[in-house]
Every structure is written in structure tokens, then in C-alpha cells.
């Protein structure tokens, strides 16, 4: 069953106002090299840095930006550091999905009163460029939601960071904003986390996919999508379902060693141009067989793009009642088969590409088979 529900709270009031995604922080083994990857392959510009040279003795963070997307790449400088423990256990992965709010203290207290586990008590950071307030709660696995309040802050990122620029001319690839961030949780835990987002953070259940929507010959999964009051934040939550072989969600959980962020979807206004550039820069994408394109127009109707161009770049198309969307998925971006990216261009459609699930999951299974984990 696939149910689209109205994205408005029953009370008509947003009980947990969030302006949008503030940043996404990865804990990695080597932030310097990860920062180079995101600049060279993905066209992000370096905007800020924190490390020993700026007075931070135990870790380094590189802040990268493209469009409205801000990535923070953090690594430890000693094996005893929490960031080193995290990176050793999970591999490189997303630690923080930071949310931009008007009142970080209120967001924290509201969330904790409604049952969230505290991760960081509210604190105020200040430098000559202004004030940033932070607080954080825990979500699935070891992932946190940091609440960031940055009224009138004029520095490069936040106090503690120094402005820093890329040392060579980085070419952006047209990435605009974070469209959605997907979490993989343990078998049986999906509803608990959906309830968490509904009860603690006032999110609405947007859509439900069960194993009849999302199954191939071998594997299956279930997914529910929750969204905040203004609709800017969309978090699909996946859990594995029973299949003949190991599902991609179980593979993720085995390698990440806990629940965590599975993929980050980033939006572009011109997917043909964005994906051409990413491919030239060496980003690898999942392969969908050419036969996918044989009946694509019969399935989705007329589209503005030339199917020949989509086929050449292996871009997928899907349609819903409101329009269509174009999307493509990368292979995992670190050694473990865990986090990957989706590039998405929405042409009216607000859904998630259900018509492509089968082709996509078969593509993932071919990769799993190569890894010996199917
Ligand atoms: Fe997605």
C-alpha cells in the first residue's frame, strides 16, 4: 500500500518550527582528504576551518558549501577522541543532521519535554561576528539533530571557525539544497522513529511504502516518510523486510554497525548538466540497464528532456499526480557500503520515485552480489 496523506498538522499549527537544514556533519577518518574529494568531485567550496591553527587542539573540521548545502567534515587528532571512536565503529558517516531554528533553547526544551534524549545542553557561542546558539538531541543510531540558532551571525560558519577558501578554482556542479535525508533503522524500529518525529518534533506522516511497493525477487524493505510543518525537512525512514536474501538495509546495518543515515538527496535545477559534470569528475553512479528506457515514455508520459540524454547519463524518471522528477543514485561514497547520494530534479512531483524502486533496488543488488553480501 502506498498512501499519500495531507502534509498539514491536525491543529493547523506548527508545534516545532524549523526553518530548514542548517548543515550536515560527517565524522570521518581523514577530513583533509574528504574535503578534497567534495571540492574536486562535487564542486563544493571550502568556506571555513577549525583545527590546531585556530586553537582547537583535538579535532579538525572543514566546512564546505554549494548553494544552500553546507557540509562539515570532522576528524579526530588522537585515537582516544570520540570522533575517532565513531569513525572506527561506523566508518565515515553522518553524525549530525543540523536543523536551523529561531530558538535553539526552546527547541531543545520542547523536544526533551516530549521525550527526546538530550545530546548537548543549550550553549552560546560568540565571536566578533556575532552569536550562534546550539543544542542537540539524539535520533536513530548515534545520529544527532543539532538545533542551530544564528540570528545576525555574520562570520563564515560559526564561532570557533575561521574563514578559509579553496586553494584552487572549484567548479560548482549546480547543487542547490538538501531535498531529503533517509535513515536506515533496525528491523521493527521504523514505527518507533516515525512516532518520535511525530510526537517529539511535530512532523507529519507524508507517505507509507510497504514491501509490496518495495520488493524485488530477493529483498524487501518498508519505508515511511515524515516531514516537518513547513515541508522543508523530509526524512524517509527505512527498515528491512523479510526477503529471500539479505536486503540492502541489512547490509547497511551490518557495515554501519547501527542505524544511521543511508542517503542524502541533493536538488539541482539541471540534472543533465549536474550529472555530466559529476561523471567527468569521477563520481560513480549505480547502473540501470538500458532496457529501463525502452518503455519510459509509456510509463511517465511526455517530458521536456530527451530520453537519449537521460539514457546516456543513466538518469531515472518518475511521475506522480503533480508532475515528474528526474533522479540518479551514486554508489557509496566511502569504503563501507553505507552512505550514498541521490541527485534529484523536481519538475512538479513532490514524491520520491516509487516507479524507480524496482530498477534501483535491482541495481543495488547487483552491487551487493559483487561485494558478496546479497
Ligand atoms: Fe531518496
How far, in Å, from the CA of 89 to the mean position of ligand 1? 25
How far, in Å, from the CA of 360 to the mean position of ligand 1? 11
- Among 140, 163, 186, identify where a domain stops: 163
Residue 325: the pLDDT is: 96
How far, in Å, from the CA of 54 to the mean position of ligand 1? 37
- Among 163, 191, 226, identify where a domain stops: 163
Number of domains forming the structure of the chain: 2
How far, in Å, from the CA of 225 to the mean position of ligand 1? 10
How far, in Å, from the CA of 354 to the mean position of ligand 1? 10
How far, in Å, from the CA of 203 to the mean position of ligand 1? 18
**Of the candidates 224, 266, 226, the residue with the CA atom closest to the CA atom of residue 44:** 266
How far, in Å, from the CA of 346 to the mean position of ligand 1? 12
How far, in Å, from the CA of 327 to the mean position of ligand 1? 9
Same domain, 147 and 185: no
β-bridge partners, 236: 225
Residue 8: the pLDDT is: 47
Same domain, 179 and 155: no
Distance in angstroms (rounded) separating the CA atoms of residues 206 and 229: 11
8 Å CB contact between 22 and 148: yes
Residue 98 lies in a domain: yes
Diameter over CA atoms, the chain? 60
How far, in Å, from the CA of 352 to the mean position of ligand 1? 6
How far, in Å, from the CA of 207 to the mean position of ligand 1? 13
Same domain, 97 and 216: no
Residue 12 lies in a domain: no
User: Would strands 130-138 and 69-76 be described as parallel, antiparallel, or unpaired?
Assistant: unpaired
Residue 12: the pLDDT is: 66
Residue 228: the pLDDT is: 95
CATH number of the domain enclosing 87: 3.10.180.10
Instruction: Give the range of the structural domain holding residue 102, as residue numbers without chain letter.
Output: 20-163
Same domain, 122 and 213: no
8 Å CB contact between 98 and 23: yes
CA distances from 309 to 39, 288, 317 (A): 26, 14, 12
How far, in Å, from the CA of 149 to the mean position of ligand 1? 27
How far, in Å, from the CA of 219 to the mean position of ligand 1? 18
Same domain, 188 and 136: no
Distance in angstroms (rounded) separating the CA atoms of residues 159 and 156: 9
Same domain, 207 and 355: yes
Question: 245-262, pLDDT tens digit by residue?
Answer: 788 899 999 999 999 999
Same domain, 241 and 289: yes
How far, in Å, from the CA of 2 to the mean position of ligand 1? 16
How far, in Å, from the CA of 236 to the mean position of ligand 1? 8
Same domain, 193 and 248: yes
Same domain, 130 and 232: no
Distance in angstroms (rounded) separating the CA atoms of residues 75 and 150: 24
Q: Please, how many CA atoms are within 13 Å of residue 282, restricted to the half-sphere of its CB? A: 7
Which runs of E-coded beta strand occur in the chain?
Answer: 2-4, 20-27, 45-50, 59-66, 69-76, 93-100, 118-127, 130-138, 144-149, 162-163, 175-184, 204-209, 220-227, 234-241, 260-268, 316-320, 323-329, 340-347
Instruction: Write out residues in the chain with pLDDT < 70, as ranges.
Output: 1-12
How far, in Å, from the CA of 34 to the mean position of ligand 1? 23
Residue 1: the pLDDT is: 42
CA distances from 348 to 181, 269, 321, 345 (A): 20, 12, 9, 9
How far, in Å, from the CA of 349 to the mean position of ligand 1? 13
Amino acid at each position: 500500500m502506498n498512501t499519500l496523506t495531507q502534509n498539514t498538522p491536525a491543529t493547523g499549527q506548527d508545534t516545532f518550527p524549523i526553518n530548514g537544514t542548517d548543515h550536515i556533519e560527517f565524522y570521518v577518518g581523514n577530513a583533509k582528504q574528504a574535503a578534497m574529494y567534495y571540492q574536486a568531485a562535487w564542486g563544493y567550496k571550502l568556506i571555513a576551518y577549525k583545527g590546531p591553527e585556530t586553537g582547537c587542539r583535538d579535532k579538525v573540521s572543514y566546512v564546505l558549501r554549494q548553494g544552500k548545502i553546507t557540509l562539515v567534515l570532522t576528524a579526530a587528532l588522537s585515537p582516544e577522541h570520540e570522533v575517532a571512536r565513531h569513525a572506527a565503529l561506523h566508518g565515515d558517516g553522518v553524525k549530525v543532521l543540523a536543523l536551523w531554528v529561531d530558538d535553539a533553547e526552546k527547541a531543545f526544551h520542547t523536544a526533551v519535554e516530549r521525550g527526546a534524549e538530550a545530546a548537548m545542553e543549550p550553549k552560546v557561542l560568540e565571536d566578533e561576528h556575532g552569536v550562534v546558539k546550539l543544542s542537540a538531541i539524539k535520533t536513530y543510531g548515534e545520529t544527532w539533530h543539532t538545533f542551530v540558532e544564528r540570528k545576525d551571525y555574520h562570520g563564515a560558519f560559526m564561532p570557533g571557525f575561521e574563514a578559509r577558501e579553496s586553494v584552487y578554482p572549484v567548479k560548482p556542479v549546480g547543487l542547490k539544497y538538501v531535498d531529503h535525508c533517509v535513515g536506515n533503522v533496525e528491523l521493527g524500529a521504523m514505527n518507533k522513529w516515525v512516532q518520535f518525529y511525530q510526537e517529539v518534533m511535530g512532523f507529519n506522516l507524508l507517505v507509507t511504502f510497504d514491501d509490496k511497493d518495495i520488493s524485488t525477487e530477493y529483498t524487501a524493505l518498508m519505508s515511511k516518510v515524515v516531514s516537518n510543518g513547513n515541508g522543508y525537512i523530509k526524512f524517509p525512514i527505512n527498515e528491512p523486510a523479510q526477503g529471500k536474501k539479505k536486503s540492502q538495509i541489512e547490509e547497511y546495518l551490518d557495515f554501519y554497525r547501527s542505524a544511521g543515515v543511508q542517503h542524502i538527496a541533493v536538488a539541482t535545477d539541471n540534472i543533465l548538466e549536474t550529472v555530466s559534470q559529476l561523471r567527468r569528475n569521477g563520481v560513480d553512479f549505480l547502473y540501470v540497464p538500458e532496457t529501463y528506457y525502452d518503455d519510459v515514455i509509456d510509463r511517465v508520459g511526455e517530458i521536456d528532456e530527451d530520453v537519449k540524454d537521460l539514457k546516456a547519463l543513466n538518469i531515472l524518471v518518475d511521475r506522480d499526480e503533480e508532475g515528474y522528477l528526474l533522479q540518479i543514485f551514486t554508489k557509496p561514497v566511502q569504503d563501507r557500503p553505507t552512505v550514498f547520494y541521490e541527485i534529484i530534479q523536481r519538475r512538479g512531483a513532490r514524491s520520491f520515485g516509487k516507479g524507480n524502486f524496482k530498477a534501483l533496488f535491482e541495481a543495488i543488488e547487483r552491487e551487493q552480489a559483487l561485494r558478496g553480501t546479497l
